[in-house]
A and B are shown apart, each in its own frame.
Chain A
Amino acid sequence: MPTIPIFHSSIIPVLSGERDPVTSLPENLIACPDCDLLQRIPSLPSGGKARCPRCGKVVAVRKPDSLDRTLALTVTAAIAFIVANVMPLMGLSAVGRTASTTIIGGAHEMWVQGERITALLVGFCVVVAPAVQIGFMLAVLLAARRFPAPSWAGTLLRWSETHQPWAMVEVMMLGVLVSLVKIAELAEVIPGIGMFAAGALIFLLAAMTVTFDPEEVWERVRWANGGVPRPPSVPGATGAGEADG
């Protein structure tokens, strides 16, 4: 794999004495989300990254073929998610008796045992939030195939990003692993199909975040105030670039 070039974005020379330093905002002008520094993003090659020169935050990335690749991964993730939730996660046999649980079955048992708030939290983090993440992403990516994309695609993308830290499939899988070891002391455990599907889901969700460039969707979405974004000038250029490589 080629090394990813990393750039430092350049600082705009703003005259500090001027009352209105930036009258019309140039397109490549951004502010760092972590330190608020105004800067210009250099034009990035496919796969390039730009970091804020002050705090080191990655402020821009160009991901190759982001929307199509993410769509393919999202469809696969949706299938893995359904299998992971329908099939048993793990089962056990002890003293001639067997038991098994699904992901939602775990949350349900907590509810039955009286820990209702914890049950709701677990259900939210391992079922609802990942489902929202996958479902919204699917809708956003399909809507973004059109130009301009409808403004609801932007609203969904905004919601899906606030949900993301709460989708904890990978944390759950580590928890499942630990509980397997704990239970192995007491009974024989049998990993279920759901566990393998959930394992695959972790990698698919991670790959989705790696390939997805939200900026590419934002550039295509119809604005909330009714404005239409400028038609992207890049597709021809990126297409040519890919043909070369």
Chain B
Amino acid sequence: MKQLPLTAAQAGLVLCEACGLLSRPAHREEPGYCPRCNGELAFRRHNSIQRTWALIVAAAICYLPANILPVMTTTTLGSVEEDTIISGVVLLYTTGSWHLALIVLIASVMIPLAKLIALSYLLITVQRGSIRSNRERARLYRLVEFIGRWSMLDVFVDTFVVALIQLQPLMAVLPGTGVLFFAAVVVLTMVAAESFDPRLIWDSSKEIELDADKRRS
């Protein structure tokens, strides 16, 4: 008989995502709760694909107003100036700190967009049962998971600028509606990344191929 590596699900075992305990649930359909940490067990995260899609669509909808609406309004002695995320980046660039401008551009504009594209790509390939470049897709997922929180940067920038510049009636900065949409994009994409189950990337592979084997041959 041929010996094959197995996944936990194929062997009827389930890994607790909270504490890492491997256990054999009594019922395959309802694995119940982890005997060690009492966390809810699941062979794969519940409705992972549908949930992640829903969150991505919601985030994509918020992405547009987040970039169009002003994130802050500066009032200086009667004159009012509205700043969007992009105009904030341009302002940083023109005042000479191009490296900070680049950081804000990457964190606020590029990372959220890249996350939406990356998660959609992962979902589509999983739904089509793709078995190609699994390792790269797994790495992409880990990157998305790691990098997501840095998009929150602009929310903090706005918060502290607003908090400090309250020198009425000379000068005051007020937050704009764009901040709310922008924060929504960040939160929705972070939750989307958490609801995607990376194990789905590997589930379509019929035979388990190991990277170590590939390198040897």
**Which A residues are closer than 8 A to B by beta carbons?**
8, 11-17, 20-22, 25, 29-31, 33-39, 53-57, 89-92, 94-95, 97, 99-101, 105-110, 113-115, 117-119, 121-122, 125-126, 151, 154-155, 157-158, 161-162, 165-166, 168, 171-172, 174-179, 181-183, 185-187, 189, 214-215, 218, 221, 223-225, 227
A38–B11 touching, CB < 8 Å:
yes
Number of interface residues of B (CB under 8 A): 81
CB contacts (< 8 Å) of B3 on chain A: these are: 13-16
Contact sample, A vs B, 20 pairs, CB 8 Å cutoff? A12-B5, A14-B4, A22-B24, A35-B199, A55-B211, A92-B164, A94-B167, A99-B166, A100-B164, A106-B160, A109-B159, A110-B162, A155-B37, A172-B156, A174-B103, A175-B154, A179-B157, A182-B88, A221-B37, A224-B38
Q: Which of B35, B201, B211 contacts A56 (CB 8 A)?
A: B211
A125–B37 touching, CB < 8 Å:
no
Query: Number of residue pairs across A and B with beta carbons under 8 Å?
Result: 253
Q: Which of A22, A57, A105, A176 contacts B13 (CB 8 A)?
A: A22
Closest to A21 in B: B11
Since A55-B202, A91-B164, A181-B97 are in contact, a sample of 8 more A-B pairs with Cβ atoms closer than 8 Å, ordered by chain A residue number, is: A14-B5, A22-B11, A35-B7, A101-B160, A155-B37, A181-B100, A221-B37, A224-B36
A11–B156 touching, CB < 8 Å:
no
Chain A CB within 8 A of B212 CB:
yes
**Which B residues are closer than 8 A to A by beta carbons?**
1-9, 11-13, 15, 17-24, 33-39, 88, 91-92, 95, 97, 100, 103-104, 134-135, 138-139, 141-142, 148-150, 152-167, 170-171, 174-175, 179-180, 183, 187, 190, 194, 198-199, 201-203, 208-212
A117–B183 touching, CB < 8 Å:
yes
Q: Which of A99, A122, A185 contacts B164 (CB 8 A)?
A: A99
CB contacts (< 8 Å) of A110 on chain B: these are: 159, 162-163, 175
Min C-beta distance of A208 to chain B, whole Å: 17
Q: Which of A34, A162, A225 contacts B198 (CB 8 A)?
A: A34
B156–A176 touching, CB < 8 Å:
yes
CB contacts (< 8 Å) of B166 on chain A: these are: 99, 109
A176 to B8 alpha-carbon distance, docked (Å)? 45
Q: Which of A34, A183, A215 contacts B138 (CB 8 A)?
A: A34
Given contacts A54-B211, A94-B171, A186-B165, contact A118 B179 (CB under 8 A): yes
